[in-house]
Amino acid sequence: MKTLTSKSLRLILAALGLSLGLVANNAKAQAPSLYWDINDLTPGAGGATPSGTWEGNNWSIDPAGAWGTGGWVVGDRPVFAAGSDATGSYTILVNANHYIYDMVMRTGTGTVHLVGPGVLGIQDRGCEFFASGTLEINCALAGGGQYVGQTGTVQLYGTNIYSGGSLLNGAVTGFNNNNSFGTGPITPMFVGPTPPGYSTLASSTAAIIELPNNFVINTAMAGITFSNGPAPAVCNGNWDLQQTLYLRENSLSTAAVSFAQTWVEECRELNPHSRATTRKFQKRFLRRDGGPERLQALICSNSPVSWRSPK
């Protein structure tokens, strides 16, 4: 998979106009919402599958979609869609670079496909993604902001270069390339109601994916479920275990996930008679930056998870 250079990052951020002043100004107050609407004054969004172009006059300030439409306003929150008729799957072509504040899919259980050469800039805060169905983001995400997966399924299919990290807060987050999670760390939160709570990372490609991101486990009872496609996912980053990590693989996975920066010190079965074997690992995670090592417990559910020690 192609990795973008720091020069590419600087050029794209410059094109987006993400200056520190703009970021600070937009972060002061919550942005207004613009509702996807391709049929102007007619209520609703324009049918079950209202495909269109982001740069067209396809945005309304009216949640019902009856007040007319206009163009995109930089820094607003895109909501898919106006009214309640957009229940199917549709495609939005993103031709230019845009700056967004959160993203919401609120109607239907289909898939909203965002495609095109445009780059979506997220500000220096948590950029929250909510989906009633699936948000498939094929264009790149850039900027200093943090991806926050809240509800539904969000597929990060662009060659992303955002640097604020990824916060897993309950959504199923799909990935299909080495750069899906940008350059920052991946951090799971506790997702209730019964501990431990798991957020899902789901790969969807036949090619091996090698995630360079570090993982930070700083919330009690926070877990990650890896749901892999036909090829394995490899976690090349370091794991900072400030809390016990709960890790499992989905039973539908066809390939194991491996962890290249892991050194297994002790392994013992807690319940050898359980059908879904649970193992407890006393782990020491190596850090490339020479920082202090952390010693913590790791709970691993289901046997397909594999571990690879560095030589």
pLDDT at 292: 36
Sign of CA dihedral 133, 31, 157, 36: positive
Question: Residue 215, class by beta-carbon neighbours within 10 Å (0-12 exposed, 13-18 middle, 19+ buried)?
Answer: buried
pTM over 0.85: no
Return the domain boundaries, the chain: 6-184
pLDDT at 137: 98
Q: What are the pLDDT tens digits along the chain (311 aa)?
A: 444 444 454 444 444 444 333 443 444 468 999 999 999 999 999 999 999 999 999 999 999 999 999 999 999 999 999 999 999 999 999 999 999 999 999 999 999 999 999 999 998 889 999 999 999 999 999 999 999 999 999 999 999 999 999 999 988 999 999 999 999 999 999 887 777 788 899 988 878 888 999 888 888 888 888 887 777 788 888 777 777 777 776 644 455 566 554 433 332 322 333 333 333 333 333 333 333 333 344 444 433 344 333 33
Cα–Cα dist 163/181, whole Å: 9
pLDDT at 250: 63
Nearest to 99 by CA among 80, 117, 72: 72
